């Protein structure tokens, strides 16, 4: 294949003599779509990004990269861009469990790639990356809807009501966990039963939810704060995402609260729950709830083999892990990096996309097993679950290696039967 030189009106010619309008048509200009365009920029590919939103909106989740996700961001060439524009490094992770001493982890000193957590407002991150993709040569159409996609040797995307679709060597669906096009194309989406519920809101004001609350003060650094209430089946994760702006989440087993927290009428109950789990009262004395406030379930949903006849799925469109664990953005960047690597190593993009789909299924399966382990141990209810937790936590105190390092290793953290047995204290 070769890319014909010239202006926007040129076509891309395939090795068999046929031609396409673009090499890549990417539906969705968020983290997955824009990062992919950035990652393959400068290779002579003609790229179109179709993004239906005129302005990105707060979706109440997606503000943190775990250290293994920060490594993926560096591999894709977007890490420094995010830091220069909208992101904050959190070099520490502080955990507070009822009845135990606080644990503060120095991430650069203890993670395999010496990387940090990174936080940011999700809409600002999306805007920065989409702008960079456009600057690097991707054509961006905003406020337009990809109404249909057709499989084929040369797949096509129909924009709005246009009868004639635009052709591409490869179409990438990166339009989120509720992708309409994925459903129209007949990709089968599998679901796990609902177990955890996450409620999220923004706190604005003179407060920093990434402050140090235990141990030696480190005024020049940030931490992500986690509070865990084993008996109550609840967890809180809090972080600063911009000056004067913080995101705080309440995560709980679905049987803990009688109804989901959502909207202004639930703010007082949300704050009561956050304080009960351990979030400090002064955060709520000096700040106010701002923006949307809602709850969502965290069941896994995924497509096995996220590629078919010229159409490939990435990010949440391919698979969504439980947002309670904060790995969704890191997982998305792993998808993008795997697809980027396959596309650049072969001119046969059909075979490359098939290889990516196998790569994706492998690492996503490991992540799903890992999160199932953690959810079962930390959140399951009942006397048997309480006894199992007490036993496992006592073993962790003497041998921390029993806990898979999901934060540092991501999908490379052990999740096989032996790892599960060690985590549960069965061996």
- pLDDT(399) > 80: yes
- Mean pLDDT on 103-111: 96
- Report the DSSP pairing between strands 307-308 and 311-313: antiparallel
Out of 45-49, 161-165, 191-195, 316-320, least confident range: 161-165
- Which positions ≥6 away from 362 have C-beta within 8 Å? none
Is the predicted pLDDT of residue 273 greater than 70, yes or no? yes
The mean pLDDT of 404-427, rounded to a whole number, is 97
What does the alpha-carbon distance between residue 123 and residue 72 come to, in Å, rounded to a whole number? 20
pLDDT digits over 119-131, tens only? 999 999 999 999 9
Tell me, what's the pLDDT at 163?
Answer: 83
pLDDT, residue 220, reads 79
- What is residue 143's three-state secondary structure? coil
* Domain 2-75+122-192+302-368 identical in fold to domain 89-118+196-297: no
Ordered strands of the 88-90 beta sheet: 64-65, 117-119, 88-90
Residues 6+ positions from 270 with CB-CB distance below 8 Å: 199, 201, 250, 261, 289, 293
Would you give the distance in Å from CA 302 to the centre of its chain? 14
User: pLDDT tens across 294-329, in order?
Assistant: 998 888 999 999 999 999 999 999 999 998 999 999
List, in order, residues 6 or more apart from 134 with CB less than 8 Å away.
Answer: 49, 140
For the domain spanning 89-118+196-297, the CATH number is 3.30.9
**How far apart, in Å, do the first and last CA atoms of the chain sit?**
55
Question: What is the predicted pLDDT for the residue at 10?
Answer: 54
Question: In 3D, which of 32, 3, 371 has the Cα closest to residue 173?
Answer: 32
Summarised one tens digit per residue, pLDDT across range 228-254 is 999 999 999 999 999 999 999 999 999
Q: For the ranges 69-83, 290-304, 394-408, which has the lowest average pLDDT?
A: 290-304
Question: Is the Cβ–Cβ distance between 169 and 19 less than 8 Å?
Answer: no
Structure tokens at 245: 């702006």
Instruction: Record the pTM.
Output: 0.94
Mean pLDDT of the chain: 93
Weakest-pLDDT range from 14-18, 121-125, 265-269, 271-275: 14-18
Q: What pLDDT was estimated at residue 16?
A: 43
The structure tokens listed for 183 are: 């459903």
Rounded Cα distance between 315 and 295, Å, is 21
Q: How confident is the model at residue 14 (pLDDT cuts 50, 70, 90)?
A: low
pLDDT band at 9 (very low <50, low <70, confident <90, very high): very low
- Whole-number Å distance between alpha carbons of 377 and 247: 26
Distance (Å) of CA 123 to CA 56, 93, 229, 238, 289: 5, 24, 31, 18, 18
What per-residue confidence (pLDDT) applies to 334?
A: 98
Task: Dump pLDDT digits (tens) for 165-186.
Answer: 999 999 999 999 999 999 999 9
Higher pLDDT, 183 or 3: 183
Q: Is the pLDDT reported for residue 215 higher than 90?
A: no
H-assigned helices in 60-121: 67-76, 79-85, 107-110
**Is the pLDDT assigned to residue 6 strictly greater than 70?**
no
HSE value, Cβ hemisphere, 13 Å, CA-based, for 403: 17
User: What are the percentages of helix, strand and coil residues in the chain, rounded to 5?
Assistant: 35, 25, 35
Q: Which residues is 149 bridged to in the sheet?
A: 157
pLDDT at res. 2: 29
Label residue 133 exposed, middle or buried (CB < 10 Å: 0-12, 13-18, 19+): buried
Answer yes or no: are the C-beta atoms of 47 and 37 closer than 8 Å. yes
Render pLDDT for 50-61 as a digit per residue (tens, 0 to 9): 999 999 988 788
Give per-residue burial for 357-388: e unless 16+ CB within 10 Å, then b. bebbbebbebbbbbbbbbbbbbbbeeeebeeb
Indicate the length of the chain as a whole number.
Answer: 427
Residue 382: φ, ψ to 5°: 110, 165
Candidate CATH numbers 3.40.50.720, 3.40.605.10, 2.70.150.10, 3.50.50.60; the one for domain 2-75+122-192+302-368: 3.50.50.60
Nearest Cα to 171, choosing from 273, 286, 314? Answer: 314
Segments making up each domain of the chain, as ranges? 2-75+122-192+302-368, 89-118+196-297, 381-423
d(CA 246, CA 360): 32
* Mean pLDDT score, 363-374: 96
Check whether 394 has a pLDDT greater than 50.
yes
pLDDT of residue 299: 87
């Amino acid at each position: 294949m070769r890319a014909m030189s010239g202006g926007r009106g040129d076509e891309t010619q395939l090795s068999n003599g046929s031609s396409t309008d673009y090499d890549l048509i990417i539906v969705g200009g968020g983290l997955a779509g824009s990062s992919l365009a950035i990652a393959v920029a400068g290779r002579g590919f003609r790229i179109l990004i179709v993004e239906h939103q005129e302005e990105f909106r707060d979706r109440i989740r997606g503000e943190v990269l775990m250290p293994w996700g920060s490594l993926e961001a560096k591999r894709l060439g977007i890490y420094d861009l995010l830091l220069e524009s909208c992101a904050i490094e959190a070099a520490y992770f502080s955990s507070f469990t009822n009845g135990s001493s606080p644990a503060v982890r120095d991430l650069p000193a203890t993670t395999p790639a010496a990387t940090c957590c990174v936080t940011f407002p999700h809409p600002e991150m999306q805007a920065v990356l989409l702008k960079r993709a456009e600057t690097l040569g991707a054509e961006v159409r905003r406020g337009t809807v990809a109404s249909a996609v057709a499989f084929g040797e040369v797949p096509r995307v129909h924009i709005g009501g246009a009868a004639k679709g635009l052709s591409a060597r490869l179409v990438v669906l990166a339009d989120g966990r509720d992708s309409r096009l994925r459903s129209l194309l007949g990709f089968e989406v599998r679901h796990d039963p609902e177990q955890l519920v996450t409620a999220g809101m923004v706190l604005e004001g003179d407060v920093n939810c990434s402050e140090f609350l235990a141990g030696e003060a480190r005024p020049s650094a940030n931490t992500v704060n986690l509070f865990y209430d084993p008996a109550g089946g609840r967890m809180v994760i809090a972080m600063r995402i911009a000056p004067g702006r913080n995101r705080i989440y309440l995560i709980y087993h679905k049987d803990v609260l009688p109804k989901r927290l959502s909207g202004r009428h639930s703010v007082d109950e949300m704050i009561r729950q956050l304080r009960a789990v351990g979030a400090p009262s002064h955060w709520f004395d000096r700040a106010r709830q701002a923006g949307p406030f809602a709850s969502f379930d965290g069941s896994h949903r995924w497509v096995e083999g996220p590629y078919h006849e010229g159409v490939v799925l990435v990010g949440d469109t391919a698979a969504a892990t439980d947002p309670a664990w904060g790995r969704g953005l890191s997982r998305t960047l792993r998808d993008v990096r795997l697809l980027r690597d396959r596309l650049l190593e072969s001119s046969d993009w059909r075979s490359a996309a098939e290889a990516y789909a196998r790569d994706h299924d492998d690492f996503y399966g490991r992540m799903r097993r890992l999160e199932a382990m953690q959810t079962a141990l930390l959140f399951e209810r009942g006397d048997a679950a309480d006894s199992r937790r007490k036993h496992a936590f006592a073993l962790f105190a003497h041998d921390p290696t029993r806990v898979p390092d999901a934060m540092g290793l991501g999908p490379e953290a052990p999740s096989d039967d032996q790892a599960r047995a060690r985590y549960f204290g069965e061996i």
